[in-house]
Structure 1
């Protein structure tokens, strides 16, 4: 049996997923702006053989445009929050194997600059960077970057398609293999004949190139994606190497995994080209009595207000909320639609309401039990097609220390967790190769510019010919 993969799902903020828990005496989330906390967490994760630390991120407030954000601030709900990309460079220096994954949405950084940052981090970490591709769900985020409003849901994925095209061209096509020489005797650091401008011209971006960094160990970072809507699933099937899901049960996960892999095959990829990570929180106890006591403690500190604010549904601009029995389908939703769709599949007997959403956020996101019981539950997720777990924390670093001490030995004994790291880049650890495989859309840009245009005029003439041929 293949072992499960494990990521730690975190955020550079005080209240990420499990709201209210930062108030617990043992929680260190409130110290999130202290580098020492994150070094401690990273070392704990590497001791527990975690595959990656996975940083979520946002660039705006949850809630309606022009709305009150009192609850966000009281809860510490992703405000204040810090940039995870800056943090990864420091963590790379304190770890050797741990993958370093971070979220960046297509609004917050121009693809030329983003591609350069990723390549720099991949160099510094020896090839351990992953990118969680998101299109953002916050109206406030759009306004923070000068947009009048958040683009329509599916249009944001069209934007992401072009964003990726630019990045792929830079990472995979701008530098040929062998371009970097470091020839001290000959005085040639690199070969200009093997470094190319990309001359990208699209609906949103015009980028000349070349990519300024030399190819990093992975070139393209390991690509995560979390969209579960029909458009998001198609985007994941075409581009993702790892898909993050937070489905309510293994049956819903099985359906999501099967549909996404089917679309991947239709796009010319193989089912095994994509791994799936289910988001879970684990509450571990040695006995049923201890499990019950720890669940009660979790619920004692949990903030229902925080969970509902995070969901961004049912909140009116004046801060008041719609009644608990409001049907989710009746609430306009231009944000993350996947969670509502997954909840609908989990409640086939009725249309889910705001109350159902609050209950699901509070009660369905964790698995509680003894180590053997939790191992059984994780085995059920694996049987549904899930390859790994994004382990969400109740407290930092306690949740991950507890995993190492109380659960990992049982998982290893049952073949559900590895006993040592493989060498190499993050992609090599996950897929056995440093670079994206030939079936991935990024691969089509390898060598694509070696005999390509040498000016914008040539590039435009070539595009005109390609357009004409495509229209025949």
Structure 2
């Protein structure tokens, strides 16, 4: 029986998923500025046996007609947000085994800066850090915010990102040998110069020459995550990612995306089952089915067309309320403005596939209302929720879920109290939470480093161990 891996999808802001929930009495997310809020959430997840706490992040903001819409400000829709990387060392210090994943774009900092930041985080967390690799989010607003004259195209960003990750891997894996750091006080030797190797990297987009200043951390390379379901995104994930976060729309589409990622991984010489593929899920659970339905109804009553429009514009550059509601997205000319260059997964999902007609703008608004960028929606008692999660895994070959809370942290507390014991009873989660580095917990191995079949292994500088003598 496949074990169910669990993460939680968060942003260091007032609410998750581009939906409206912070005004509800059940939500405590207005405390997102406070360390105690995040410490409490991390400790709940740590005790319950979750694998990791995932922080989405970015510099962008919703934009309609080139400016921040009033509703985004009034409603706290994907605005504002803190830098979550800065709170992770505190959360790691006050938890025992929970992993932490944070988003960092390949389109802003130089790979040397990113490699240094994640190596530092891996040291400070004791090997419990993951990097969610994105090529950008809200790319048009970010381009303007950083003074770029134009936004890089969707597929071109992935081409650049391949090189970005290769250079980061070169720094993590290719400069220090495993035993270069000596730390001999008596002899006065900190490190062995013969076991440090100069990095020389010359690419199309990036260059670097010198020495990586951070000695090897417990994992060396953070666990590599990737979120994106476009064709180029899936190809990128199959090459680089160890854990992939796919968008949950329908069971059929999710099954196809999972199968495609695993097939592409095999083409890259990787074990297709070695990649952990997870999907977002919003769970509303209560002691009874009726109580759970009532809670979900209270959330749904907060949502409006305007909330959906702000979210969708921020992700794709398309203002749904400016379009003819009776027509599909094809009413936009291909390549018009930023459409098609950002948020590609959230455009592709509404273009119509497999002979099915594309939904109208009105139908898109209705589908996204109360859902936003969230994945599957599950409502019910503990046994009903466990049934649905098991069924989703069995039907799609998924490895687990990222919970996307609507009322934070109450939803997470309820899941930990009601659903986790049921999953343990069914054998979907271990009786005792796993320990070790984040990579060890996700792979179920005792090796904290990249798998030998991962493309990043070719950058390793440490000589292989000599063959044993019989």
Asked if these proteins are the same fold (TM beyond 0.5), I'd say yes
Answering whether residue 403 of structure 2 is matched by residue 396 of structure 1, we say no
- Cross-structure match for 1:467: none
- Cross-structure match for 2:110: 110
The aligned runs of 1:35-46 (5 Å cut-off) are 35-46=35-46
The aligned runs of 1:308-457 (5 Å cut-off) are 308-312=309-313, 313=316, 315-316=318-319, 321-331=322-332, 332-344=339-351, 349-362=356-369, 365-383=376-394, 384-431=396-443, 432=445, 433-447=447-461
Q: Tell me the CA shift for residue 304 of structure 1.
A: 3.6
- Taking the aligned partners of 1:449 and 1:208, their CA distance within structure 2 comes to 22
The secondary structure found in structure 1 opposite 2:358 is: coil
Please say if residues 329 and 350 of structure 2, whose CA atoms lie closer than 8 Å, have aligned partners that are also in contact: no
Q: Tell me the CA shift for residue 15 of structure 1.
A: 2.7
Cα RMSD after superposing both structures: 2.1
Count of residue pairs the alignment pairs up: 448
Cα distance change of structure 1 residues 340 and 320 upon mapping to structure 2, 3 Å threshold: closer
- Taking the aligned partners of 2:175 and 2:360, their CA distance within structure 1 comes to 50
Please say if residues 131 and 221 of structure 1, whose CA atoms lie closer than 8 Å, have aligned partners that are also in contact: yes
- Taking the aligned partners of 2:265 and 2:24, their CA distance within structure 1 comes to 43
- Taking the aligned partners of 1:416 and 1:15, their CA distance within structure 2 comes to 29
Please say if residues 198 and 449 of structure 1, whose CA atoms lie closer than 8 Å, have aligned partners that are also in contact: no
- Taking the aligned partners of 2:432 and 2:72, their CA distance within structure 1 comes to 41
- Cross-structure match for 1:264: 265
Please say if residues 61 and 69 of structure 1, whose CA atoms lie closer than 8 Å, have aligned partners that are also in contact: no
Q: Tell me the CA shift for residue 18 of structure 1.
A: 5.0
Answering whether residue 43 of structure 2 is matched by residue 32 of structure 1, we say no
- Cross-structure match for 1:243: 244
Q: Tell me the CA shift for residue 67 of structure 1.
A: 3.1
The secondary structure found in structure 2 opposite 1:302 is: coil
Answering whether residue 144 of structure 2 is matched by residue 130 of structure 1, we say no
Cα displacement string for residues 340-381 of structure 1 (whole angstroms, at most 9, x for unaligned residues): 334556885311233333333235642112222211211121
Cα distance change of structure 1 residues 16 and 323 upon mapping to structure 2, 3 Å threshold: farther
Please say if residues 18 and 394 of structure 1, whose CA atoms lie closer than 8 Å, have aligned partners that are also in contact: no
With structure 1 as the length reference, what TM-score do the two structures score? 0.90
Could you list the runs of 5+ residues in structure 2 that have no partner in the other structure? 333-338, 465-470
Q: Tell me the CA shift for residue 333 of structure 1.
A: 2.1
Cα distance change of structure 1 residues 288 and 177 upon mapping to structure 2, 3 Å threshold: closer
- Taking the aligned partners of 1:358 and 1:286, their CA distance within structure 2 comes to 31
Structure 1's consecutive aligned runs of 4 or more residues displaced over 6 angstroms after TM superposition are: none
Please say if residues 330 and 351 of structure 2, whose CA atoms lie closer than 8 Å, have aligned partners that are also in contact: no
- Taking the aligned partners of 2:228 and 2:289, their CA distance within structure 1 comes to 36
Please say if residues 352 and 358 of structure 2, whose CA atoms lie closer than 8 Å, have aligned partners that are also in contact: no
Q: Tell me the CA shift for residue 110 of structure 1.
A: 1.7
Please say if residues 386 and 422 of structure 2, whose CA atoms lie closer than 8 Å, have aligned partners that are also in contact: yes
Cα distance change of structure 1 residues 381 and 99 upon mapping to structure 2, 3 Å threshold: same
Please say if residues 229 and 247 of structure 2, whose CA atoms lie closer than 8 Å, have aligned partners that are also in contact: no
Answering whether residue 187 of structure 2 is matched by residue 176 of structure 1, we say no
